[in-house]
Structure 1
Amino acid sequence: MITIGRLARYAGVTIKTIRVYHAKGLLPEPERDSSGYRRYTARHVIDLIKIRTLADAGVPLARIRELRAAPDADLHQALRDVDADLTTRIRNLRRTQKHLRRLAAGDADLLPPEISAHLDRLRELGFSPRWVELQADLWVLVFATHPETATELLHDQADVLADPALRQIFLDYDHAHDLDPHDPFIEELAGRMADATRDRYDVDRLPGQDTDSDIPALIQGTVNASSPAWQRLDTLVRQQLHD
């Protein structure tokens, strides 16, 4: 008969672990002796070593409890299942590690290659670093939440930038960031933006304006929050489109 401390040493676990196994029904608690101490037997040592071995191998504690009295075939199948699960987890962890290393080395981006190329194009066209950084953040959001439509939206943006008149509107919008919201240029630009939107789109079904998603509103809110002038532009354009 041995004490819980000696049992822990024999099995290579802590006393706290043994108590956890007792609480979860993995290891039956022995009767107490006349002094009130639990006294363990060799059977407890053997059972505890088996439990520890399975736990160290990755078998969930709840599954160990089920397998304690199971036939050997069930135990072997459970171990094969755990092995398959570990193989999948290792593969995923290696993929994650590889991606993290690429990010750390500066060889990868949060965005698909086509977005990186789009941002490079914005720089070439003369857009401000502030605008490029804002666009990068917004495209992260779009690709994360709406991957099925993000590419279509990107192509639409490329078409817009290929049109000199539309491209100038976006350049003027970028420039307007630091203007006074009541600068006359703001009203003139809002008129051009509204006209261009009506000419290019159905104003009731603008690109990305999915009625089941609040992402477009979040994006516009982010843009408006960065500049009072942009906020007034948004208000004026919306008014003109719905007059």
Structure 2
Amino acid sequence: MLTISQLASYAGVTVRAVRHYHAKGLLPEPERDHSGYRRYDAAAVVELIRIRILAEAGVPLSRVRELLAAGDEGFAEAIADIDRRLRAEIRDRQRHRERISQLAAGDSLALPPEAVAYLDRMHEFGFPERLIEIERDSWILLAAQLPDQVSAFMAIKHAQIEDEPLRRLYLDIGDLADCAADDPRLPALADRVVAFLEAAAAQSAGMAEDEPISADLIALLDAAFVEAFPCAPRLFQLLEARGFTGWTGIRRIDPAG
């Protein structure tokens, strides 16, 4: 007869594992001898080895008892089912690995590849870091709320950033990040924004207007811009005086009110 330590040694497991299998009901606990110690026979060693082999093969402990009691056909069916589950888990883990590998750069977190490429392009063109951070955080919000539409949005943004006059305007907005409300450059900047909006409106005349972004999300994005750019409220005032309101969803003010 064997002690629990000897049993564990013969089966190639730890004493802690033996006690764990007892607690799970996988390995029956023998009666204690007159000294109060459990004593195990050869059958217990064989059973414990079978449990160890199944566990090391990836069989969940919750199914080990089922397999130990199964006949040949039932055993094969159970193993096939476990194999399918393991394959699915491996595929999930592989996807997780691929996702983790994409997080080497901080901008990759919570952003689709198109948005990451856009931010990289902003870096290449020398946009101020603060403006890039605003863009990054805005696209994280948009990607979470409108995942199916981000690709279409990003196609527009990529086209815009490659347009030299518009890119120059955007760079100048970034350069005014720390300007005061009375900065003399703001009125001219507002004029340029309005000129761009009017040109864009002329190009899209007759097209149906689509507003997929909710008013609440627009307000949140505008608030983030205001927080990052102290001069933003003054710029908004200048734009309003020129007939436009908002920023993320900037639009012409309806004369009818």
1:17 and 1:218, CA in 2 relative to 1: closer, same or farther beyond 3 A?
farther
Query: In 2, Cα distance between the equivalents of 1:231 and 1:77?
Result: 68
Partner of 1:49: 49
Q: Does 1:64 align with 2:68?
A: no
Q: Is the 8 A contact 2:134 2:228 kept in 1?
A: no
1:218 and 1:29, CA in 2 relative to 1: closer, same or farther beyond 3 A?
farther
Q: Is the 8 A contact 1:119 1:136 kept in 2?
A: no
Q: Does 1:17 align with 2:21?
A: no
Alignment of 1:159-178 (within 5 A): 160-161=160-161, 167=167, 169-178=169-178
Unaligned runs of 5+ in 2: none
Normalising by the residue count of structure 2, what TM-score does the alignment of the two structures yield? 0.67
Query: In 2, Cα distance between the equivalents of 1:61 and 1:231?
Result: 62
Alignment of 1:160-199 (within 5 A): 160-161=160-161, 167=167, 169-183=169-183, 185-186=185-186, 189=189
Sequence identity (%): 37
Greater displacement, 85-94 / 49-58: 85-94
* Equivalences, count: 234
Structure having the larger proportion of residues in helix: 1
Unaligned runs of 5+ in 1: none
Q: Does 1:209 align with 2:213?
A: yes
Helix, strand or coil for the counterpart of 1:177?
coil
Per-residue deviation, 1:81 = 2.9
Normalising by the residue count of structure 1, what TM-score does the alignment of the two structures yield? 0.70
Q: 1:229 aligns with which of 219, 228, 231?
A: 231
Deviations 1:57-88 (A, max 9, x none): 00000011232322222222222233334444
1:217 and 1:44, CA in 2 relative to 1: closer, same or farther beyond 3 A?
farther
Deviations 1:1-22 (A, max 9, x none): 2111101001111111111111
Per-residue deviation, 1:40 = 1.1
Query: In 1, Cα distance between the equivalents of 2:220 and 2:26?
Result: 51
The two structures, once aligned, show a CA RMSD in angstroms of: 4.2
Partner of 1:148: 148
Question: What amino acid is aligned across from residue 51 of structure 1 in structure 2?
Answer: I
Question: What amino acid is aligned across from residue 178 of structure 2 in structure 1?
Answer: D
